[in-house]
Structure 1
Amino acid sequence: MFVLSEGPILHADLDAFYASVEQRDDPALRGRPVIVGAGVVLAASYEARARGVRTAMNGRQARALCPEAIVVQPRMSAYSAASKAVFEVFRDTTPLVEGVSIDEAFLDVGGLRAIAGTPAVIAAGLRRAVADRVGLPITVGVARTKFLAKVASGVAKPDGLLVVPHERELDFLHPLPIERLWGVGKVTSAKLRSHGIRTVGQVAGFDVRELVSFLGPAAARHIHALAHNRDPRPVQVGRRRRSIGAQRALGSRRRTPGELDVVAAELVDRLARRLRQAERTCRTVTLRLRFADYTRATRSLTVPRPTTSTEVLLATARTLLAAALPLILDRGLTLLGLSLSNLDNSGPHQMELPFAGPDLSTLDTTLDAVRTRFGTASVTRATLLGHAPLVKIVAGTVMRSTGRR
């Protein structure tokens, strides 16, 4: 019986995604260290990473490590467009695509051997297609499980391709450091290393009962299984997100409560529109904070009924922000984020009494339609508006004059 020795799962991961888009769009940035984001590093090119710059690093620290770096402001619309183009390549390769984030996905190509070749051949073609059609570098790992395919792509970065044959899986996996195991962060790594465990192979060699004694049952069984490359999860097509979020880096300058409210309103407007476009509802709003001393905090609130209303979500976010304000003023804030969770499919739901009053859902959908047709900046809140020569007040918002009818 003929047995495949590679695949069938590909893990495709764009390299330094935001920075690569900037280098693609501006030839002057190619081959030079690029940092996306001034207050906090959202992405760094590999030229900047070689100098020690890392994602989520304070911007001042990053510039100290790499003074010659070129710092650019993030362009989320450009990154979203590039992601959509790359995912079109993925879906042209196989219908079995599971998006993990804006810049990575798992693909199952196990049924394509007769028409497209081996997984290694398909992966090579995928990389060429992304380079030719989107102009971005991408790394692909090929393996029998999702876990090992992701590890392979991580080892192959940047702009590489690594195939792990079935018969060499443990030979490849076991010499790697324990941090390559999913779920092994700083705390778990420190516990393992304190017991002399430094490689994946050493985890595999431990009795799982010993691991349970200092990691707990869930974590111990999870990493022990991965150390043996036991990962039965299939590529899940059409899996819907359990949450959506957005954040804003604030830099080191102290912000007033009014300025923080403006940021929260901007994030809510963005997230509420995404929620409605995805035809989802949400019940829980979570506020995420990062302080000047690099500590973090979260606060969440669940509303009584599922909603897509911008005003309901904004009121909830403002409640959370007001409650956290004493902590913010005391410690300083460098990042503010919001996420929406407890998501469900949008559909008929029980209306609340009284029924009289303005139909805010109609206002939301009308504003969504205007932004879709004329751009996201065509309608905005007065508090978010800088200086414009001509504005029109529309339903409590401000519309820039575009000259179009």
Structure 2
Amino acid sequence: MRPTRKIIHIDMDAFFAAVEQRDFPQYRNKPLIVGGQPFSRGVVAACSYEARKYGIHSAMPSSKAYRLCPQAIFVKPRFDAYREVSGIIRSIFADYTELVEPVSLDEAYLDVSDVGRHQGSATLIANAIKTDIQQKTQLTASAGVSYNKFLAKMASAINKPDGLYLITPEQGGAFAEQLPIGKFHGIGKATAEKMHALDVHTGSDLKKISLEILQQHFGKAGHHYYAICRGIDHRPVNNHRVSKSIGVETTLQQDITTTQDIIDHLQALLKKAALKVAEKHLAAYTLTVKIKYHDFIQITRSRTLTHPITPTLSSDGILEDLLKNTDVGNRSVRLLGITLSSLNHPSQLQQPQQIDLFNNSSVAS
């Protein structure tokens, strides 16, 4: 029998907003929204706990957030500041274990199964990490401790902010059974609705559904759902995790209609996304375009190439082809996005011929 793992999930509390309130005392103890301005087409990237009391949450349109709380303070994100703090936090993690899997700037899993500090207690280690973060950044983090990633993630949300919660192996199954299906990490709104159609509303309900039925309705994910409702999750903490995709998008200040304007915006987004891929020392093969029309109807179009998409690769004709058989040019557009996927390390790639993506020429050596 394998030894019980000790997994910690660290999640910073209202991270972007907390950094702003730390750096600018006039924002403290006030409803603060980081993201789009109140009369823009943007969305909330993060908000303080004072703002959450008004029902505001991330990804909400900024205009709606303003209606809910007109006295809120709106500020633009300062990603350089957030990345700097994230670097400090990750250096703290590295003091405890090499098995760290960052999920985002403000969130990570740690496997401390073989860590001897603090008598080998994952709970004491988590508390020590929280203390180090507070002392070095003046920010608070919440921690979840359990024997797998799923339960550690769920535990970290229980006592926010500045929380610490433990789910033991003896408690895991019962905890998963009582959990509302919409609260399961990895089950979004659309999947929850499909679950509800199957009369699945809690983990206990999910546990009654056979593996075959779950796979029939949810494909490969069905096996994962079958396991987590039983408190089972064997996924390792992967400190060499490769990103599955890298994307950028923009909500336009004003709707645009002409095809050329849309292509110009997509070209700029493609360059940003390709540079992000290059910064991670990766190469991408699949390009996906996301378009949201003025009436919020959304479409995507994808193309997988035989050569990697890099900051020096040409899109001549590709974007135009992806926009064929869409309503682009006939309907106004409010949001555009580019996602690059099928990512690999260049060492795994053969030497492909590349074309220049951001210049006019269509052939290069």
Deviation by residue 1:259-316 (Cα, 9 ceiling, x = unmatched): 545543443343333333322222222222333333322222233312423352x547
Among residues 142, 145, 156, which one is paired with 1:142 in the alignment?
145
Contact conserved, 1:285 with 1:301, CA < 8 A, in 2?
yes
Is 1:340 the counterpart of 2:352 in the alignment? no
Contact conserved, 1:8 with 1:109, CA < 8 A, in 2?
yes
Structure 1 partner of 2:320: 319
Larger Rg: 1
Superposed counterparts of 1:10-89, under 5 Å: 10-38=8-36, 39-89=42-92
Superposed counterparts of 1:294-373, under 5 Å: 294-312=296-314, 315=316, 318-319=319-320, 323=324, 327-328=327-328, 330-347=330-347, 349-350=350-351, 352=353
Contact conserved, 2:251 with 2:335, CA < 8 A, in 1?
yes
CA distance in 1, matches of 2:194, 2:285: 37
Structure 2 partner of 1:292: 294
State the Cα distance separating 1:158 from its structure 2 match: 2.3
Runs of 4+ in 1 over 6 A off after TM superposition: none
Among residues 230, 233, 236, which one is paired with 1:234 in the alignment?
236
Contact conserved, 2:179 with 2:203, CA < 8 A, in 1?
yes
With over 3 angstroms needed to count, the CA separation of the structure-2 counterparts of 1:259 and 1:37, relative to structure 1, is farther
Structure 2 partner of 1:154: 157
The structure with the largest helix share of the pair is 1
* TM-score normalised by the chain length of structure 2: 0.84
State the Cα distance separating 1:143 from its structure 2 match: 0.2
CA distance in 2, matches of 1:150, 1:316: 43
Deviation by residue 1:72-92 (Cα, 9 ceiling, x = unmatched): 112222222222222122112
With over 3 angstroms needed to count, the CA separation of the structure-2 counterparts of 1:18 and 1:310, relative to structure 1, is farther
CA distance in 2, matches of 1:345, 1:147: 28
CA distance in 1, matches of 2:154, 2:33: 25
More deviation in 135-144 or 255-264? 255-264
Seq. identity, %: 34
Match of 2:249, SS state, is strand
CA distance in 2, matches of 1:243, 1:292: 26
With over 3 angstroms needed to count, the CA separation of the structure-2 counterparts of 1:54 and 1:252, relative to structure 1, is farther
Contact conserved, 1:287 with 1:317, CA < 8 A, in 2?
no
CA RMSD, Structure 1 to Structure 2 (Å): 3.1
Structure 2 partner of 1:278: 280
CA distance in 2, matches of 1:293, 1:155: 37
CA distance in 1, matches of 2:328, 2:270: 19
Give ranges in structure 2 of 5+ residues lacking alignment. Answer: 37-41, 360-365
With over 3 angstroms needed to count, the CA separation of the structure-2 counterparts of 1:339 and 1:259, relative to structure 1, is same
More deviation in 166-175 or 101-110? 166-175
- One-letter amino acid of the counterpart of residue 178, structure 1: I
